[in-house]
Chain A
Amino acid sequence: MSEQESIVFVVDDDPAMGVSLESLLRSVGHSVMLFQSTRAFQQAPRPDLPACLVLDVRLPGQSGLEFQRELSRSAHPPPIVFITGHGDVPMSVAAMKAGAVDFLTKPFRDQDLLDSVHRAIEFDRARRTRAAMLAELRALAAAMTPREREILPLVAAGQMNKQIAQALQLSEVTVKVHRAQVMQKLRAHSIADLVRIADRLAAAERAGQAEDTRV
């Protein structure tokens, strides 16, 4: 199952339940880290891997739902699979709305839990891949000069060198040089390639801005 490396965090205040969850998850090949409280989870050093958090709703002190809210404010929280002894509908709705992968009522079918955990890990993996690609793109974009940054959207919009030169009041030759530089810096092989990269970059910038305002 774990053809690629991943980790499952389990937070349950009942040690017996925690151990049984750990055994079940390990039996299908997951690596598991077990915590008795949310605080222990936060304080422990955690491997930087695609992850899933299996979280009991009812915990002493801070409840699982409160902890979900707190986690969502941090950068890249692991997707959460909730388990609960007595789940009611409003509680599960709240959890799902806040982005939980699943909300399981004890006792649950083992397959349900394993499916949810699998889904959560894949979700996290995809998010990580996306994040890595974006980070790479951003690094590439960072190498561009302000002028090149100005030219990129115009090229991506399909404008001719002549038009760009006119718009930016440059000579056509200069535009041509800048354009070659942009192609090289963003590692684009063709104009079509460049358009796609430009799109992704714009999307990443928007997402980055959204993240900034959230924090």
Chain B
Amino acid sequence: MRGCVNPYETASARLSPLASPPTRHQLRLAAGVAALLLVALAATTPYARQPTEGTEALLPAYAAAVFVIELLTSALLMALFHVQRSRAMLLLAVGYLFSGVMVVPWVLAFPGAFDALTGGGATQSTAAIGAIRRLSFPLFVIAYAVLADRELPPAAAYRAILFSIAGVVTAVALAAWLIVAHDDVLPRLMIDARKVSGLWRFVPAAAITLYAVGLIALGLRRRSMLDIWLMVVLFTLLIELVLLSYVSAGTRLSVGWWAGRLYGLASASLVLLVLLSEATTVHARLARSVLAERRARQNRLTAMEALSASIAHEVNQPLATMVTNASAGLRWLKHEQPRIEEATAALGRIVAEGHRASKVVASIRTMFLKGAQERVPLDLNGLIEAVLAQCQDEARLGRVSVSTGLERDLPPVIGNPAQLRQVVANLVENAVDAMRGTARPRLLQVTSRRHAVSEVVVAVADSGTGLPPVDRERMFEPFFTTKPDGMGMGLMFCRAAIEAHGGRLWASDNTPHGAVFQFSLPASAAMPEATGPEAGGPVR
């Protein structure tokens, strides 16, 4: 079955589900995560201010986890940018990268974590780095949300990634060095290693404002699944900040402080997992489509082989007959008393077979060669009437009564007149043949109708012997025939031609007797008036 979705429109969306509009399922999942975080916040609040002892040792592990997760997320986003080349995406990746790399100086400067390495004593550096990290990330997200999806040229994408990475690393190194080297001139954000000063108040306030702006910007846009997950991230950061700065009253290493960190980590991992699972999905889809393409090509090849074999047979048959007749004729003439009448008969048969061979070649030509690709707007009703007029003699001979039910004002279809005429002729011929042996009234009905706005369906119904019970699909295979003198090519050709026109051909039982062969073709968008004189082309 063919859907009516244009494959090109959805190509980029298929390539990356992240860039596609959020599904309802994804929206529910994101809302669920947000709700879970709120519950976690509520559950943590009573114990938030309780301080913990000696948990500095866990800081490197926490920092390492944040570093790895944010770096991986950034890498995946950069990969996505490489494919889509959207500047906004690059900015977001840079944001993640910056945040991830900034964790390194942050944890190095943290009082009590790496004192042996850094000498300790710097009380303000960590807070300053943390503040920069916290305030910069939502800025990147806001920029991502606000920036238009402009594409960079393919060559520029690669360079942009390299420059971004180099720039981020340099900026972080420079900033860290400046901050750590001038710890004493920094604003006094901390009273001591654990307690924040009154000045710190402004940092979470500013951050929360930025988060809110980011959430609103993303919420207004909400164009892709990625946007939804970024909203979850910002929301998590918001909750983390509330826990860190207000619920735990800004006391470092308290239960609330750690809880905030953990929630942040969990949700960052969640985004990474979403990214990874999407990447896997994309990969699976790609593999599937590659396989499907390979299979389709194989099928086409097999069909072509079968077709060429059958063409060879169809041409060979009259040729062989001609050769045999010629040999016979020669032998009759070589008799002591030449048998002229026998030789004449043999020559006559050669002439007939020559015409038969030429007809085969001509039909192959209509099938493939000249003008097979040529498509014009066609009036199917006119075409049907022309074919029926041609088959009149045959129908009369088969004592078949022909009726039509052609819908008026049928939209035209775009097609090859010779091929479609051949299809209708084959179906009509089959129907007449199917009724040859029956004692019932022999009724052939050809109908056309519009189906679901965009399709035209033509049905050829007979009251003949009906379809074989087991070989429904084999009917359409080459060489399959139930006729004594059939080649088994007709229906195969019909299906191939109809499918080449973007339609379908199928068979079903007629009531009470016989079979119906129907095909559908996409209706042309053009109105009948606009099709010009060619529309009636097949009508003679």
Residues from 271 to 325 in B contacting A, C-beta threshold 8 Å: 309, 312-313, 316-325
* CA–CA, A106 and B349, complex, Å: 17
Q: Judging by beta carbons under 8 Å apart, are A106 and B345 in contact?
A: no
Q: Judging by beta carbons under 8 Å apart, are B313 and A86 in contact?
A: yes
* CA–CA, A60 and B320, complex, Å: 19
Q: Judging by beta carbons under 8 Å apart, are B316 and A110 in contact?
A: no
Residues from 318 to 347 in B contacting A, C-beta threshold 8 Å: 318-325, 327-329, 331-332, 335, 339, 342, 345-346
Q: Could you say which residues of chain B place their CB within 8 Å of the CB of A160?
A: none
Chain B's closest residue to A59 (CB) is B484
Interface residues on A, range: 20 to 34
Q: B482 at interface (Cβ–Cβ under 8 A)? A: yes
Residues from 92 to 109 in A contacting B, C-beta threshold 8 Å: 106-109
Contact among A17, A36, A37 with B324 in the assembled complex (CB-CB below 8 Å): A17
Contact among B320, B327, B483, B486 with A17 in the assembled complex (CB-CB below 8 Å): B320
Chain A's closest residue to B479 (CB) is A58
Residues from 105 to 121 in A contacting B, C-beta threshold 8 Å: 106-110
Q: Could you say which residues of chain A place their CB within 8 Å of the CB of B316?
A: 85-86, 106-107
Q: Within the complex, what minimum Cβ distance (angstroms) separates A114 from chain B? A: 9
Chain A's closest residue to B315 (CB) is A85
Residues from 1 to 23 in A contacting B, C-beta threshold 8 Å: 13-17, 19-21, 23
Q: Mark each residue of chain B from 473 to 500: 1 if its CB lies under 8 Å from any CB of chain A, else 0.
A: 0000000011111100000000000000
Q: Could you say which residues of chain B place their CB within 8 Å of the CB of A28?
A: 331
Q: A213 at interface (Cβ–Cβ under 8 A)? A: no
Q: Could you say which residues of chain A place their CB within 8 Å of the CB of B485?
A: 13-15, 60
Q: Judging by beta carbons under 8 Å apart, are B328 and A86 in contact?
A: no
Q: Within the complex, what minimum Cβ distance (angstroms) separates B524 from chain A? A: 40
Q: Judging by beta carbons under 8 Å apart, are B342 and A106 in contact?
A: no
Q: Judging by beta carbons under 8 Å apart, are A14 and B327 in contact?
A: no
Q: Within the complex, what minimum Cβ distance (angstroms) separates B115 from chain A? A: 85
Q: Within the complex, what minimum Cβ distance (angstroms) separates A82 from chain B? A: 14
The count of residues in chain B whose C-beta lies closer than 8 Å to any C-beta of chain A is 33
Q: B353 at interface (Cβ–Cβ under 8 A)? A: yes
* CA–CA, A14 and B327, complex, Å: 18
Q: A74 at interface (Cβ–Cβ under 8 A)? A: no
Q: Could you say which residues of chain B place their CB within 8 Å of the CB of A60?
A: 481-486
Q: Mark each residue of chain A from 11 to 50: 1 if its CB lies under 8 Å from any CB of chain B, else 0.
A: 0011111011101101110000000110000000000000
Which of A20, A106, A110 has the most CB atoms of chain B within a 10 A radius of its CB? A20
A13-B484, A60-B482 in contact; A27/B320 too (CB < 8 A)?
A: no
Q: Within the complex, what minimum Cβ distance (angstroms) separates A145 from chain B? A: 58
Contact among A20, A37, A86, A109 with B321 in the assembled complex (CB-CB below 8 Å): A20
Q: B27 at interface (Cβ–Cβ under 8 A)? A: no
Chain A's closest residue to B324 (CB) is A20
Which of A17, A23, A108, A109 has the most CB atoms of chain B within a 10 A radius of its CB? A23
Q: Within the complex, what minimum Cβ distance (angstroms) separates A85 from chain B? A: 5
Q: Judging by beta carbons under 8 Å apart, are B327 and A85 in contact?
A: no
Interface positions of A (Cβ within 8 A of B): 13-17, 19-21, 23-24, 26-28, 36-37, 60, 85-86, 106-110
Interface positions of B (Cβ within 8 A of A): 309, 312-313, 316-325, 327-329, 331-332, 335, 339, 342, 345-346, 349, 352-353, 356, 481-486
Which 7 residue pairs across A and B have the least CB separation, nearest first? A110-B327, A106-B320, A24-B328, A27-B331, A107-B320, A107-B323, A23-B328
7 contacts between A and B (CB under 8 A): A14-B317, A21-B324, A24-B325, A24-B331, A27-B328, A60-B481, A107-B322
